Amino acid sequence: MLKQQTIHLIKNTIPVLETHGAEITQIFYRRLFQQHPELLNIFNHANQRQGKQQNALANAVYAAAVHIDHLENILPVVKQIAQKHRALQVRPEHYPVVGQTLLDAMKEVLGDAASPEILEAWAEAYGVIADVFINVEKEQYAAAEAAPGGWEGFRRFVIERKVEESCVITSFYLIPEDGLPIASYEPGQYITLRVQPDGQDYKQLRHYSLSAAPGNPYYKISVKREDAASGRPAGTISTWLHDNAVPGTVIEVSAPAGSFVLDGSSDAPLVLISGGVGLTPMVSMLETALNRQPARSVTYIHAAVNGRHHAMKEHIQDLTAKHAQLSSYFIYESPQADEICDQSGYINTDFLQHHTNPNSDFYFCGPQPFMASVYRSLKQLGVTDPRIRYEFFGPAGSLEA
């Protein structure tokens, strides 16, 4: 339990964090990697370059301050972050290093405003929050290892097949090198790959959603090639997978993780909405729902640039033909002359109003602007928050306008 004086001091820093939170986290990461370069083997370098990780940490620190007197309010977020920490193999010994570096960054940015009393209060609060993370992650590590086919740390997998799904998305089928069983997973979860491409100084870790229903002797991931674009460098791992990984290539993998999963206990109509490569967890959920809940009404809506960019189209069409409970729709931003789709342009409120029931359970995934648009439409249609679930690829952001 935190002392009331500590809670009071932390609460008083909320306005400061609103103003200086981003600067504090930028300096935090700079200091962290200067003093502990070995941690570059854990952090996603692309998210660092784009500022996503810094923003996510600033939001997390701010949320901790706001809820410091009721930390149970942020437990769902803690569990979600802990899933990623477990997948990345974050360990208890990392927390003191992070805590001290965060305090040093606060001191550097705030100067005299970061009094000894405030820094002491944050040190006490960080210790309590770190203990929560460590305990949650301890349970998750134990569960991942104890599960049938589970394991600790990273395990060597071999690419069995490599299948081109569209002009930008390729699927990889991974089987364990040791030939032993693999852990099952919940539809919507991801695995974490660890590779060190030639020319890279550090190992690179990336989360990839599993893009098939559980129950197979392999893990299937479907990866979009992220080429360089204006203001954004090419994706190190996605381009390596597309250009260099072939059947027989060995990749290290941590056990499945993630809290964005299909609620199989609900019998409400199910609506799955994806944009681009956001279809990966949606297809896993779709296949699972059709297999396990044959009486449940399911609607699947996918948006792509055009047919060349549309992955797994034939697979979804086959599922729709086989399952009377399933309706599927395709929206193309810029369809080519010979392409047929259900709507050109974008998914909008009118389309969702005509093709979905607001009392459905909605799951969606894709680029952040896409998800923000879907979220706004669902709110306009009166869909309640408990029925809305979504997943960010990378650090969590906000869909609130």
Residue with structure tokens 């290093």?
97
Distances (CA, A) of 190 to 96, 118, 281, 299, 311: 28, 39, 8, 23, 18
Cβ–Cβ under 8 Å, residues 318 and 289: no
CA distance 190 to 302: 20
Catalytic positions are 95, 137
Bridge partners of 206?
193
Check whether 332 is labelled as a binding-site residue: no
Q: Is 395 annotated as a binding residue?
A: yes
Question: Nearest to residue 141, comparing CAs of 149, 128, 151?
Answer: 151
N-to-C CA span, the chain: 36
The reply, when asked if residue 392 is annotated as ligand binding, is yes
Whether the CB-CB separation of 37 and 158 falls below 8 Å is answered with no
Helix (H) or strand (E) holding 291: helix 279-292
The C-alpha atoms of residue 202 and residue 198 are separated, in whole angstroms, by: 10
Residue 279 labeled ligand binder: yes
The response to whether 190 counts as a known ligand-binding position is: yes
* Residue 218 annotated as lining a ligand binding site: no
Q: What is the DSSP string of 198-233?
A: TT-SS-EEEEEEB-S-S-SSSEEEEEE----BTTBP
List of residues 6+ apart from 17 with CB closer than 8 A: 24, 58, 61, 62, 65
281 is in an annotated binding site: yes
Is 381 marked as binding a ligand?
Answer: no
Measured at the CA of 295, the angle between CA 285 and CA 355, to 5 degrees, comes to 70
- Please enumerate, as own/partner, the contacts of 31-40 that have beta carbons within 8 Å and a separation of 24 or more: 31/101, 31/104, 31/105, 31/108, 32/97, 32/98, 32/101, 35/101, 36/97, 37/202, 39/94, 39/97, 40/201, 40/202
> What does the H/E/C string look like for 153-204?
CEEEEEEEEEEECCCCEEEEEEEECCCCCCCCCCCCCEEEEEECCCCCCCCE
Is residue 141 marked as binding?
no
* Residue 85 in marked binding region: yes
Task: Region of 252 please: left (phi>0), alpha (psi -120 to 50) or beta.
Answer: beta
- Residues of each annotated binding site for NADP(+): 276-281
